[in-house]
């Protein structure tokens, strides 16, 4: 054997051994991944037994990296997060579980229960139905599905269906008294009947039998019922019990203060807050709550005086209290002095949690004073040292949302909720992130959880109710507002919102009840709201004569100012009584000739009467006297636009922008003018400025995204349009549907495009651009017959004298799609 032959044989043996070793190694690696996953799982379970939850969760996450299908680990992880109150994370884990294991009963039951907690009835019914198919005899599943049916009947005003649900709940409770969902039905049925004694009896029975986190919602329900019964002593006794039960829940303490305030027991509220506040304690939140209360009810000087005494006493928290005093000074308008004080406190400070807290407060000041760069740098510094700092997370998440980086915001907020799962502000920020991301379902769930975490606080309740009204879920909105009102019956914002809900529902009797409650409060603000609701009710009922008489009466009330008179004049104009409107406004001006509001409405009446020059003279005088009033500039601009005088309209617009360069409405009008003359790039530039000023506006986002996706071809512009337009996904507004649908088509997601463009074309049947977008989508989906029909519809809708730029493409597509297929035989 030659030397070369020996070498070849040796290499062959080495290659064979290497291949065998690699094969064994790969097999070993596969086996070891599962083995390592199981080892992490067992370690995690052992840590749970020891009570080390955080490390256990880390172990479970390691399991998922190695084996994403590990059912037991997924269940354990979801259970822990649910027990900790981190509902969103628990829900997502259970959801992933049932996607992998659709027949898992525990997962389906948990998802249905959590959806029930947030009022997501679609998800309750979906998972409840799936659970019933797995085990129809499961009493918890039967109760959940009965609860869904009961509340569906309530929404549909089906009295028989609701009564049947209440009866079935009673039957289920006979053998299973721990079923919270069944008690939920019984308690709701009693509350709807205003049988407060039965409601209290049912709540107490539920307390005696229900276990776990579901008990928490019973406390707020019981407080509301006691409020209806007027049992002040029982209310205070329950609140004291809640303080013992939930010593670390700031929402309970805030609830007690709200109840004291609602009973005009301001001194008692202050005494309670003082008993909680210890300047020497490590947790300074109670002191901050006391100071906030003093500022609200005793005045800023009282709060600063309190701080001065605390600071004079020294102690370990002196830097933090100096920072709190600086915050009060900042809010009083002394911004630069307050910032300088904060910087002095931080100079040379040791890197501690307190230092980082002060830096977060300073970052807020810097941002509000216009130094966004400095604010962001401070927050990044804090997070680099402590990635779980909740204050810094809130600020950064807010900025990420504003920058349309919603995915990053959601990830960051999950970290924050891992630290503070019941923080209403974090939950509200998460709702905003989901809204900007186009997921209104998750937005609603987060708002519902914020209401629960805040113990039905007015601000979170108003926010959630507004969302529900947008979704036309009026009955749920009513329930949210009533729950909040039971704990704050004199809150005029809540009463106004409830009245608006009843107007949408056309529930005239309940509007009268709200008006009576407002009149009982007796404040000037409550009086104005009650009159507004009465006027809106009469208008909604088309009781025009009564509305006119009502407004005429109000216009003579000196306490209501000129507002009622202006409303009367507008009502007369809406009825076509221009002469009566002018007569009335002249009469009112005779008594108050300098009233800008009356002069403004007089100009509008003159314009309706065709006296354009007289109206313009009034508007011009108002512009000269009140150059900072955006409404006056816009009215004059619209006057000349309506009379077909674009030169005068544009002159007014430019003059207005000279005085108010940041005016949203004037800039909006400018963008429209630029579009009219074909200056699309100029319009985009204006919309970019508008979006920078107010990125929360869905209308501004829609218009900017629409122009970017329609008039620019570069990938970067399309990607930016998509990021801006994500919030429009699933909207029922035709213009928003068209924008998102067109962008989805351009991004290659034609199924999503079709789902949005079909309803958009139905909502805007006369818009050729919408039909063009739909035709393009049909063609991309190779639905040629539908594409041809839609392209032909575009031609019907287009004005031949002013064809759009896509017209040549439409005609070419019609010719292409109308041509006989290649190889087809023509017939006579």
Domains 29-137 and 626-694 share a fold: yes
Architecture of domain 700-818: Alpha Horseshoe (1.25)
**pLDDT tens digits, one per residue of 775-801:** 999 999 999 999 999 999 999 999 988
Tokens read off for 214: 């579901």
Six-digit token pair at 54?
């955080």
Q: Which of 205-219, 264-278, 318-332, 417-431 has the lowest mean pLDDT?
A: 205-219
pLDDT band of 560, cuts 50, 70, 90: low
Q: What angle do CA 122, 127, 129 make, to 5 degrees?
A: 95
Q: Is the dihedral of CA 686, 689, 691, 697 positive or negative?
A: negative
**Conformation bin of residue 370: beta by default, left when phi > 0, alpha when psi is -120 to 50:** left
Which range among 209-218, 510-519, 599-608, 760-769 shows the weakest confidence by mean pLDDT? 209-218
| Locus of tokens 């308690």 | 187
Rg of the chain (C-alpha set): 33
**351 DSSP 8-state letter:** S
What's the Cα-to-Cα distance from 666 to each of 14, 123, 673, rounded to whole Å? 80, 44, 11
- Given the structure tokens 């305030």, which residue do they identify? 261
pLDDT at 13: 54
Q: Are 179 and 140 contacting, i.e. CB atoms less than 8 angstroms apart?
A: yes
Neighbours of 345 (CB within 10 A): 22
Confidence (pLDDT) at 569: 86
Residue 28 has what pLDDT?
Answer: 45
Separation between Cα atoms, residue 270 and residue 622, nearest integer Å: 48
The pLDDT-based confidence of 513 (bands split at 50, 70, 90) is very high
Sign of the Cα torsion 187, 480, 523, 510 reads: negative
Q: In the chain, what are the domain boundaries? A: 29-137, 626-694, 700-818
Predicted confidence band of residue 475 (pLDDT cuts 50, 70, 90): confident
The architecture of the domain spanning 29-137 is Alpha Horseshoe (1.25)
CATH top class, domain 626-694: mainly alpha
In this structure, are residues 813 and 787 in contact, taking their beta carbons and an 8 Å threshold?
yes
What crossing angle do the helices spanning 406-419 and 87-100 adopt, rounded to 10°?
Answer: 110
DSSP state of 558: G
pLDDT in tens, 86-101: 888 899 999 999 999 9
Q: Is the pLDDT of residue 391 over 80?
A: yes
pLDDT at 55: 92
pLDDT band, very low/low/confident/very high, at 46 (cuts 50, 70, 90): very high
Residue with tokens 């992130």: 433
């Amino acid at each position: 054997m030659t030397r070369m032959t020996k070498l070849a044989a040796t290499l062959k043996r080495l290659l064979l051994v290497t291949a065998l070793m690699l094969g064994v190694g790969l097999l070993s690696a596969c086996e070891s991944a599962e083995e390592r996953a199981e080892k992490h799982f067992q370690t995690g379970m052992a840590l749970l037994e020891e009570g080390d939850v955080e490390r256990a969760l880390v172990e479970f996450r390691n399991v998922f990296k190695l084996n994403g299908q590990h059912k037991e680990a997924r269940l354990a992880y979801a259970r822990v997060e649910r027990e900790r109150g981190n509902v969103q994370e628990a829900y997502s884990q259970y959801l992933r579980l049932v996607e992998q294991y659709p027949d898992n009963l525990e997962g389906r039951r948990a998802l249905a229960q959590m959806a029930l907690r947030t009022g997501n009835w679609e998800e309750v019914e979906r998972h409840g139905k799936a659970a019933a198919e797995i085990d129809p005899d499961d009493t918890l599943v039967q109760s959940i599905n009965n609860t869904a049916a009961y509340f569906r009947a309530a929404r549909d005003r089906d009295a028989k269906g609701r009564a049947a649900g209440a009866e079935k709940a009673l039957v289920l409770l006979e053998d299973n008294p721990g079923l919270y969902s069944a008690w939920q039905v019984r308690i709701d049925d009693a509350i709807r009947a205003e049988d407060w004694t039965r409601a209290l009896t049912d709540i107490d029975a539920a307390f005696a039998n229900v276990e776990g986190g579901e008990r928490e919602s019973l406390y707020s329900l019981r407080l509301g019922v006691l409020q209806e019964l007027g049992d002040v002593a029982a209310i205070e006794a329950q609140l004291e019990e809640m303080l013992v039960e939930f010593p670390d829940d700031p929402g309970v303490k805030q609830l007690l203060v709200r109840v004291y305030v609602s009973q005009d027991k301001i001194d008692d509220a202050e005494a309670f807050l003082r008993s909680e506040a210890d300047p020497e304690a490590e947790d300074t939140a109670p002191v901050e709550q006391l100071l906030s209360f003093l500022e609200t009810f005793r005045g800023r000087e009282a709060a600063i005086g309190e701080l001065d005494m605390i600071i004079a006493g020294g102690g370990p928290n002196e830097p933090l209290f100096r920072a709190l005093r600086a915050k009060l000074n900042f809010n009083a308008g002394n911004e630069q002095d307050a910032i300088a004080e904060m910087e002095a406190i931080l100079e040379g400070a040791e890197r501690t949690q307190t230092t980082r807290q002060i830096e977060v407060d300073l970052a807020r000041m810097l941002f509000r004073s216009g130094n966004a760069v400095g604010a962001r740098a401070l927050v990044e510094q804090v997070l680099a040292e402590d990635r779980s700092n909740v204050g810094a997370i809130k600020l950064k998440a807010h900025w990420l949302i504003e920058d349309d980086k919603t995915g990053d915001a959601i990830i960051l907020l999950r970290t924050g909720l891992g630290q503070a799962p019941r923080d209403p502000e974090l939950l509200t920020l998460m709702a905003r992130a989901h809204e900007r991301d186009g997921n209104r379902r998750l937005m609603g769930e987060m708002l519902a959880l914020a209401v629960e975490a805040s113990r039905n606080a007015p601000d979170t309740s108003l926010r959630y109710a507004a969302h529900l009204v947008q979704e036309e879920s009026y009955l749920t909105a009513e329930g949210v507002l009533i729950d909040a009102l039971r704990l704050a019956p004199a809150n005029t914002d809540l009463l106004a919102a409830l009245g608006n809900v009843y107007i949408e529902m056309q529930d005239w009797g309940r509007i009268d009840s709200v008006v009576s409650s407002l009149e009982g409060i007796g404040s000037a603000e409550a009086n104005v709201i009650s009159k507004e609701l009465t006027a809106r009710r009469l208008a909604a009922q088309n009781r025009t004569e009564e509305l006119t008489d009502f407004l005429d009466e109000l216009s003579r009330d000196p306490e209501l100012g000129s507002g009622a008179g202006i409303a009367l004049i507008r009502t007369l104009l809406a009825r076509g009584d221009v002469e009566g409107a002018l007569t009335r406004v002249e009469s009112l001006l005779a008594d108050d000739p300098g009233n800008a509001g009356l002069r403004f409405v007089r100009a509008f009446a003159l314009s309706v009467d065709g006296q354009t020059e007289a109206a313009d003279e009034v508007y011009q005088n108002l512009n000269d006297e009140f150059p900072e009033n955006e409404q006056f500039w816009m009215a004059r601009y619209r006057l000349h636009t309506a009379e077909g005088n674009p030169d005068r309209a544009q002159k007014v617009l430019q003059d207005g922008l000279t005085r108010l360069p940041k005016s949203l409405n004037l800039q909006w009008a400018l963008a429209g003018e630029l579009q009219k003359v074909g200056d699309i790039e100029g319009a985009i530039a204006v919309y970019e400025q508008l979006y920078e000023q107010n990125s929360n506006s869905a209308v501004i986002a829609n218009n900017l995204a629409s122009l970017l996706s329609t008039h620019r071809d570069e990938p970067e512009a399309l990607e930016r349009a998509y990021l801006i337009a994500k919030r429009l996904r699933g909207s029922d507004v035709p213009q928003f549907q068209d924008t998102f649908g067109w962008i989805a088509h351009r991004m290659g997601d034609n199924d999503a495009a079709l789902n949005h463009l079909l309803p958009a074309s139905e909502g805007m049947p006369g818009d050729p651009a919408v039909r063009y977008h739909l035709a393009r989508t049909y063609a991309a989906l190779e639905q040629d017959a539908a594409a041809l029909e839609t392209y032909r519809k575009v031609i019907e809708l287009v004005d031949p004298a002013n064809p759009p730029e896509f017209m040549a493409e439409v005609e070419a597509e019609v010719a292409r799609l109308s041509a006989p297929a290649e190889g087809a035989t023509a017939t006579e």
